[in-house]
Amino acid sequence: MRPRLALVSLVTAVVVVIGYSLVLQVTSGQPLSPGVQTSFWVAIFTLVIDLVDLRTQIGSFGFVLSLNYGAYYLLRLILGGLAATIIGTSGGISDPFALGFVAVLAGFTVLQNFAVSFGGQDIVDVSALFEGYRLAMITDEGKRIARQEMAQTIALANELVRTLNTGRLKNELTTMISVTAGAQQAQKRVGELEELCSNNEQLLQRALAAEMVQLNADYVRAYKDTWLTEVPAS
């Protein structure tokens, strides 16, 4: 934990220095130096490539706001800056836009997969470090999406409880179960819920609504407004 924290602190300091240099040159009215321009394009291209690459693996763009991505992005900036320095000093590319683009690609495809082994043991394995952050982002985003879906499920069930009476909830749940499992199984399940929530109508309403949402939330959302206009609240 401490080495990772130290590394994040280091790259944060580097980014702050680059940002401070950019602000100083902008406020002084002087043209931006090639180094600052290259740093800017490295930051932009790194973000764009990450959005394209990680979106397909994680399934959303929510990872951008996570702390793990913050550390991941900063490390990628370091690799991009290192690649830009190596390529720039070689004299092959002088245009900041082109240099930034090539440096990000180099950092993404070469340096990020860099590993040094000695005696069969990995001494430096940059790819393992990045893969660790990548897996952490996937895990965190999966948990966030699960919490979001759970909150939406609870809100939808609560809306049904507030607006539909017990009889209508029973009828709709019976219909939903009958489609896939048959009428007998539907009546059995409704009976089980009634027995479980005996003498507590409010609890029974919540159980029926939760069962409906868990069974097919998309169906409930599609027909919810129709049900609300057909049946008054109890």
- 3-56 confidence digits (pLDDT tens): 455 555 655 665 666 666 666 666 666 666 777 788 888 888 888 888 887 777
Buried b (16+ CB within 10 A) or exposed e, 130-157: beebbebbbebbeeeeeeeeeeeeeebb
Averaged confidence pLDDT in the chain:
76
Residues 99-129 have pLDDT tens digits of 888 888 887 776 666 655 555 555 556 667 7
Place of tokens 């966030």: 144
Residue 78 has pLDDT above 70, yes or no: yes
Task: Name the residue ranges covered by the structural domains of the chain.
Answer: 2-142, 164-230
pLDDT tens per residue across span 135-193: 777 787 778 778 888 888 888 888 888 888 888 888 888 888 888 888 888 888 888 88
In sequence order, what E strands does 107-147 have? Answer: 115-118, 121-125
